Amino acid sequence: MSKLIHIDSEYKQWIHELKSRYRRSQIKAAVKVNHEMLAYYWQLGRDIVQLQAEQRWGSGLMRSLSQDLKEELPDATGLTLSNLYYCKKFYLLYNEDIIKFPQLVGKLETTADTEIVPQVVGKSQDTNLPQVGAKIQTLLSAVPWGHHRYIMDKCEGNTEKALFYVRQTVENGWSRSVLLNWLDSNLYERQGKALTNFSATLPEETSDLAREITKDPYDFGFAGITGKYNEKTMKAALLTNMTQFLVELGTGFAYVGREYRLKIGETENLIDLLFYNLTLRCYVAIEVKIGAFDARDIGQLGTYVTAVNHILRDPEKDNPTIGLLVCKRKDNTLAQYALESSSQPLGISEYELQKLYPTKVEGTIPTIAEIESVANDTKVEDN
């Protein structure tokens, strides 16, 4: 490192800007390469389907095609027999079936970062990716091919399900191992599925987002509970495995406290688990019940939510507190009636103990900086 960078702050700042510019160009170049590769795979899959190649040239066509392409393009990769079948699946997954889900276009419009992922639909006539919406193409281009192969394997031709995982990968920066973890745990079938009264108790602009942070059932397999247990054992196991617990709750949850003490009038009350959600900017009070849902639980949880709003919530910074009851099983009709009786935003989910998670999962829990920021902005007291 030169002497100049140590003695001239303006020069040092210029070097820093050049470094940042170079890093951005590397990212853009990688995205561009990925886009071009996916476009080629799309075209290859399209040709196989539209030419009815396997019917025209026989059952051995794919093997012959792989062999001949490798001979013609000895330096190329991705021309193996298995990858050719993936190209075909890729085209079939996002071609005609995609028109059945036009609502996805609107949902995905704000997903990709346009500074990093270039808008390419309409600029090139030879990509032939879906024309249903530029945002869907941009989204697909932002995900590596290895991720797409996992998604195709697990989604079995379900376009809506596949796009859900594509979107989640882009939004959360999932590595391949994290994506596989969520595919194996059936996140698509669970996320946003809790019974809630959010549409009746929260502003329209936040009720959908609030519902999306819920799951049903929650997978507490990481707790390692196999024998008899009580609520104290369950809560202790969840907190012992805090990293996995936060991962299962979802992106944006910061832990505040266990058996969080709130004095309501002359009575001391203990909230099982209290969190702060960085996305919704609100407290989330969670009650864990190891038995079946009881309608009386709603009154207790609603009281805790109201108390948090009065005692902890800063009206200028925090949105209304949300309550979530997690129980072993529930009668959906009884649960829905109980929710309709409450004026507080509440949700009810079940949990299961069967599945296990990898011991290391990155990119799905708040960073230290995010948690510290929230701690500075909100009054958090863990007694």
Residue 370's pLDDT is what?
53
Q: Which of 184, 207, 238 is the last residue of a domain?
A: 184
Q: Is residue 367 part of a domain?
A: yes
pLDDT at 366: 56
Closest by alpha carbon to 252, among 228, 282, 231? 282
Closest Cα partner for 347 from 227, 161, 242, 192? Answer: 192
Residue 382 within any structural domain of the chain = no
pLDDT score at 27: 67
257-281 residues labelled b (16+ CB within 10 A) or e (exposed): bbebebeeeeeeeebbbbbbbbebb
Asked if 160 and 212 sit in the same domain, the reply is no
Q: Is 212:107 a contact under the CB 8 Å cutoff?
A: no
Q: Are strands 195-196 and 346-352 parallel, antiparallel or unpaired?
A: antiparallel
* Same-domain status, 153 and 207: no
Contact between residue 190 and residue 347 where contact means Cβ atoms under 8 Å apart: no
The domain tally of the chain equals 2
Question: Quick check: is 189 in a domain?
Answer: no
pLDDT at position 103: 46
Same domain? 200 vs 79: no
pTM of the predicted model as reported, rounded to 2 decimal places: 0.72
Q: Is 58 left (phi over 0), alpha (psi -120 to 50) or beta?
A: left
Asked, for residue 190, whether it belongs to a domain, the answer is no
Q: Are residues 35 and 67 in the same domain?
A: yes
Same domain, 135 and 220: no
CATH number of the CATH domain containing 279: 3.40.1350.10
The last residue of one of the domains, among 157, 184, 211, is: 184
Contact assessment for residue 306 and residue 201, using Cβ atoms and an 8 Å cutoff: no
Same domain, 105 and 177: yes
Domain annotation covers residue 156 = yes
- What does the block give as tokens for 54? 């396997």
In a domain, 135, yes or no: yes
* pLDDT per 10-residue tile (average), the chain, 383 residues: 75 78 73 84 91 90 92 88 94 70 42 34 40 62 92 92 93 90 93 95 90 94 88 90 91 92 90 94 95 94 96 95 96 96 96 61 51 51 44
218 shares its domain with 279: yes
Last residue of a domain, one of 152, 184, 216: 184
Distance CA 101, CA 85 (A): 24
Output the pLDDT for position 33: 81
Domain residues for the domain of 173 are 4-184
Same domain, 354 and 215: yes
pLDDT in tens, 96-142: 654 444 444 444 333 333 333 333 333 333 444 444 445 667 788 88
215: β partners: 191
Instruction: Based on the fold, state whether residues 66 and 144 are members of the same structural domain.
Output: yes
- Give domain status of residue 383, yes or no: no
**Do 133 and 202 have their domain in common?**
no
Note whether 34 and 160 are same-domain residues: yes
CA 219 to chain CA centroid, Å, is 15
Task: Say if residue 99 is in the same domain as residue 211.
Answer: no
Cα–Cα distance between 228 and 226 in angstroms, integer? 7
